[in-house]
Amino acid sequence: MDTMKLAQLLFPNVTDTPEILEARFPARDLPEGAIVSRMAPSPTGFIHLGNLVQGLISERMTHQSGGVLFLRIEDTDAKREVEGAVEILIDALKYYGIEFDEGATKEGDKGNYGPYHQRQRAPIYHVFAKKLVEEGHAYPCFCTEAELSAMREEQEAGKETTGYYGKYAIWRDRSIEDIEAQLNAGNPWVLRFRSEGNIENQFKFDDLVKGKLTITENNIDHVLLKSDGIPTYHFAHAVDDHLMHTTHVVRGDEWLPSLPFHIQLFKTLGFKLPKYVHIGPLMKMDGNSKRKLSKRKDPELAMTYYKAAGFPVKALYEYLMTVLNSNFEDWRRANPDLPAEEFKFSPKKLNPAGALFDYAKLTDVSKNVIAKMTADEVYALFVEWAKEFDPEFAATVEENKELTTAVLSIGRGGKKPRKDLAVWPDVKPYMGFFFDKYFTSEGFDEKFDKATIRTALEKFLAVYDAADDATQWFDKVKAVTDEIGFASDMKAYKADPEAFPGSVADVSNFLRVAITGKTNSPDLYTVMQLLGTKALERIGTAMENL
């Protein structure tokens, strides 16, 4: 076979050579050990937690090493493409702190290794496709869909491996005359790789997450270019990651079965193989068994979920670090105040089987993260969230910024900060009672008779003085407690609860329910200070309603 002639027949317009492209995209000028990696999403519009995990890992690895992170849009499947998906993706990743140094941006491509949209790279793939044909490593295949499915059925019926290989590779050794006749008839063709691999052969391969793998050689003549001249993922991966000088490929382990082919392809093209970081899927417990998070069953797989649910970005980030690197929690305990970005992330610490996603743990981490924020930070992030998801409450809070910030300051900043808030929707039940519009009452504990509660409230109103400090205030609560025959000394009460109708804790709760409507609230003394006369009005109303 005259492969030079075949190459010219298939790619008459390709005049560039691999050497020209190599010169156009020279090695990057980076310090020793700098990692170059990328996110290479398909613009389908759906962004899931797995994308963020992959993004975070490559972001950490590149930026921690002084390297480069770029965004490449894998738009080779026009059918799946959703308009605006690239913008959605860039915004979502930015929201979670992943910013790219180069690649696709909302304003167009940025960087010296583009274009960064694969469909615009067709002429580049064709240069390498032509070279493969010239060297006898690729050939056109004119099989129709019908022929291929008949082949697949035959293979399935005979319990054989499916695919285009061996005797099934019917265009592999066809004469140039046959090929020319098809081309002249204008029949569509795909370009296939001519595999020299043998499934009897195995070799060892090191994956940065999975460890040592035993790989079986690929013997399938996979498609490199589809009939529209657009490459398959495999071919685009090899050409792009080579020309863009990717050192580390971080991707989902659903690509592992294709790895033998990728290794073969890089070798045949004469490209240096990047390092691979194959990450396991996100898992969750379903009853007693683990399963992959599913798009259909688990709303928490969608990236949009976390924003709407009101988890601060920092919380999700901190949580993902916790599940991705087993030593993160120890580091966090030793460095409670350092930003999470200072943690030294290592792909070696990833769980090869995939991280276990645990909603309760996320909530817990989020509580800790919010507890450590300043009141101003909580206010700003909360308002930003509420403007989108609870605009009415956002307006109330913004009209009362000073009060809201003061409330959010209660119990904040000390060694043991309060942990009332896990997500932004928790703010309203926590402090909505400050505004009459959102005040509702749980009602008093029915264990106590109404007359007792009324007396306690009445007595308290009679002695309350807004100028009291917290100790004086509590002394008055205790005095009222004694007057109605309840125990003001908790020790004495606990020693013999039967001896008293109730304790100072119950009396405090009468006040709390009257003022806040709830049995659980921020520090009541401070709440009364902030509410001013409104607190006394609330006590009055509660007495009327008893």
List residues near ligand GLU by CB under 6 A. 40-42, 74, 237, 249, 251-252
Annotate 46-65 with DSSP letters as a single string: --BHHHHHHHHHHHHHHHHT
Least CB distance to ligand GLU at residue 506 (A): 59
- The CA distance from 104 to 111, in Å, is 9
Q: Which residue number, 42 or 218, has a Cβ lying nearer to ligand GLU?
A: 42
Whether residue 279 contacts residue 251, with contact meaning beta carbons closer than 8 Å, is answered with yes
Least CB distance to ligand GLU at residue 42 (A): 5
Rounded to 5 degrees, φ, ψ at 237 are -60, -50
State whether the Cα torsion 120-121-122-124 is positive or negative.
Answer: positive
Q: Which residue number, 42 or 503, has a Cβ lying nearer to ligand GLU?
A: 42
Q: Which residue number, 251 or 284, has a Cβ lying nearer to ligand GLU?
A: 251
Q: Which residue number, 123 or 252, has a Cβ lying nearer to ligand GLU?
A: 252
Least CB distance to ligand GLU at residue 243 (A): 14
Residue 294: Cβ within 10 Å count: 11
Residue 89 tokens, joined: 């993706």
**Cα→Cα distances 527→404, 414, 422, 531, Å:** 11, 18, 21, 6
Least CB distance to ligand GLU at residue 237 (A): 6
Q: Which residue number, 130 or 242, has a Cβ lying nearer to ligand GLU?
A: 242
Least CB distance to ligand GLU at residue 284 (A): 21
Q: Which residue number, 253 or 298, has a Cβ lying nearer to ligand GLU?
A: 253
Whether residue 310 contacts residue 428, with contact meaning beta carbons closer than 8 Å, is answered with no
- The CA distance from 459 to 476, in Å, is 9
Least CB distance to ligand GLU at residue 80 (A): 10
Whether residue 355 contacts residue 324, with contact meaning beta carbons closer than 8 Å, is answered with yes
User: What does the DSSP 8-state code read for residue 146?
Assistant: H
User: What does the DSSP 8-state code read for residue 521?
Assistant: -
Residue 212: Cβ within 10 Å count: 8
Q: Which residue number, 117 or 251, has a Cβ lying nearer to ligand GLU?
A: 251
- The CA distance from 493 to 496, in Å, is 5
As a residue count, the chain comes to 546
Least CB distance to ligand GLU at residue 45 (A): 13
Q: Which residue number, 73 or 431, has a Cβ lying nearer to ligand GLU?
A: 73
Q: Which residue number, 237 or 284, has a Cβ lying nearer to ligand GLU?
A: 237
Least CB distance to ligand GLU at residue 320 (A): 18
Q: What is the CA radius of gyration of the chain?
A: 33
Least CB distance to ligand GLU at residue 36 (A): 13
- The CA distance from 172 to 218, in Å, is 16
**Cα→Cα distances 345→57, 60, 223, 277, Å:** 8, 7, 37, 13
Q: Which residue number, 42 or 247, has a Cβ lying nearer to ligand GLU?
A: 42
Whether residue 210 contacts residue 278, with contact meaning beta carbons closer than 8 Å, is answered with yes
User: What does the DSSP 8-state code read for residue 516?
Assistant: H
Least CB distance to ligand GLU at residue 67 (A): 16
